[in-house]
Amino acid sequence: MMNETLIGPWIRRFLVEHLVCERNLARNTQRSYRDTIMLLMPFVAGKVGKTVDRLSIEHVSADLVRLFLLNLEESRGCGIATRNQRLAAIRSLARFVGENSPEHIAWCGGIRAIPFKKTTKKLMSYLDKAEMDALLTSPDCHTAQGRRDHALLLFLYNSGARADEAARLTIADLDLLGSASVKILGKGNKERRCPLWPATARELAALVANRGPGERVFLNRCGQPITRFGIHTMVERYAFRARARMPSLATKRVSPHTIRHGTAMHLLRAGVDINTIRAWLGHVSIDTTNVYAEIDLEMKAKALAKCEIADENKPGQHWREDRSLMNFLRGL
C-alpha cells in the first residue's frame, strides 16, 4: 500500500498516471514537469536534512517553495518566465495531491496561493521579407547538405512549423501530388494540415526520393534524424552568414521560432484571415494569434492613414489670415 505521507509515490503517480494517462500532455511538457521536480526535491532535502526518498508532503512547504523559486532567479540566473513555468508545474502537482488526498487540501492551498511573478512582455522578433530571402539564399545548393538545409529553411518558412515539429516530420506526412500539403503533429498531439508552395514541394520531393514512408524527412550529415537542437544550430549558422548581405540580421536573435513569427506576419500582411493563420500555426486560442496583429506597425500605419482627418489648418490658412473670419469678429 502507498505511504500517503511521503511525496515520492505521489510524484510517481503524478508523472506517470496524471500527466500521461489522464491529461495526455505532450512529451516535452512531461519532461518540463519532471525537470522541475528534479530540481525541487534535492533543494528541499538539503534544507530539511533528509534524503529525497524520505521527504514527506509537509516537508515541501510553501515557504521552501518560495525559497526554491528565489534560488532559481538568484543562483541559477533563471528569468521570470522560467520561474513562473517551474511554479506552474509545482502548483499542478499540489492540485493533483489535493484532489486525491483530502487531508492534504490545506497544504495544496498553501502551495497554490504562491503567486506568479509579473513580467514585462517583450516585443516579438520576426524576419522581414528581405531578411527571410537573405536567409533562404545562404545555403550552398551545389552541395547535398546545402540543398537539404535550403529545403528545411523553405519548409520552416512555408509551414510556420516549430523546430520540434519539423524534426519529427516523416515522409508519410507529405502529400506532394497535386495540391501539395503536409500533415504536422503539433503541441498536445494536435494535427493540422498546411498547404505547400510548388517550390517547397519540389525541394522536398528531391530530398525524400527513393526513401521509405516511415523515415524522417530531414536527416543530419550522418544520415540520422535531425534533432530540434540541430535545426536551431543550422538556422543560427545561416543567419550569421546572411549578415554580410543583410546587416539588420545582426540586431536580431534568429531562431526557428523567429522564422515562424515571420511566416505569421507575412500571411497577415498578405490579407490572410486571422483565423486561417491560427489554424496554419496550430494555435489553440485566437488570442495567441492576435499578438501578430498588435505588433505590426506597418498595418497600423496603413490603418491610421485610412482614417486620417483632413488638415484644415494648411499653410497660409492660419485663422489670423482668414479675412472673412476677421471681418466677422470685428462686426460683433
Could you read off the pLDDT of 194-250 as tens digits, one per residue? 999 999 999 999 999 999 999 999 999 999 999 999 999 999 999 999 999 999 999
**Would you give the DSSP letter of residue 60?**
S
Please pick, among 33, 126, 238, 292, the residue that the annotation labels catalytic: 292
Nearest to 131 by CA among 263, 233, 34, 31: 263
Q: CB 159: neighbour CB atoms within 10 A?
A: 27
Nearest to 96 by CA among 8, 15, 188: 15
pLDDT at residue 325 is higher than 70: no
Please pick, among 86, 162, 192, 266, the residue that the annotation labels catalytic: 162
Nearest to 36 by CA among 20, 60, 58, 54: 60
pLDDT at 310: 52
Q: What is the pLDDT of residues 256-311, one digit of tens each?
A: 999 998 898 888 888 887 788 888 888 766 666 776 766 655 555 555 555 545 55
In the chain, where the domains are located: 7-112, 129-305
Cell of 263: 511566416
Helix, strand, or coil (residue 157): helix
pLDDT at 216: 96
List of long-range contacts for 204-208, beta carbons under 8 Å, 24+ apart: 204/151, 204/155, 204/174, 204/176, 205/176, 206/147, 206/151, 207/147, 207/148, 207/151, 208/171, 208/174
The CATH number of the structural domain formed by 7-112 is: 1.10.150
Q: Tell me, yes or no, if 228 is annotated catalytic.
A: no
Query: CATH top-level class for 129-305?
Result: mainly alpha
Same CATH fold assignment for domains 7-112 and 129-305: no
pLDDT at 4: 72
Please pick, among 187, 202, 228, 252, the residue that the annotation labels catalytic: 187
pTM above 0.85, yes or no: no
Question: Residue 42: beta bridge partners?
Answer: none
Q: Tell me, yes or no, if 162 is annotated catalytic.
A: yes
**Mean pLDDT, all residues of the chain:** 87
Tell me, rounded to whole angstroms, the distance of Cα 116 from its chain centroid: 20
Q: Tell me, yes or no, if 238 is annotated catalytic.
A: no
